[in-house]
């Protein structure tokens, strides 16, 4: 679930917001946290 993924990032002190992009649901994070957020979401099974 999108909100669960956002909360998973919050737990590791990465601020994130969910929203709707042109192609579907998105999670917004700062450029500074993008790589770490991607790694953590992948590790948690939210993305491939």
Domains within the chain, CATH numbers bracketed: 2-43 (3.30.70.1530)
Tens-digit pLDDT profile for residues 15-43: 999 999 999 999 999 999 999 999 999 99
- On the question of pLDDT at 1 being above 90, the answer is no
CB 35 within 8 A of CB 41: no
Find the DSSP H helices in 1-48: 2-11, 34-43
Please indicate whether residue 22 is annotated as part of the active site. Answer: yes
User: Using 50, 70 and 90 to split pLDDT, how confident is the model at 8?
Assistant: very high
> Which of 20, 22, 45, 48 does the annotation list as catalytic?
22
Q: How many residues are given for the chain?
A: 48
């Amino acid at each position: 679930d999108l909100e669960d993924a956002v909360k998973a990032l919050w737990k590791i002190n990465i601020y994130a917001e969910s929203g709707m992009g042109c192609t579907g649901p998105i999670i917004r994070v700062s450029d500074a946290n993008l790589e770490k957020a991607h790694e953590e979401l992948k590790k948690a099974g939210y993305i491939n």
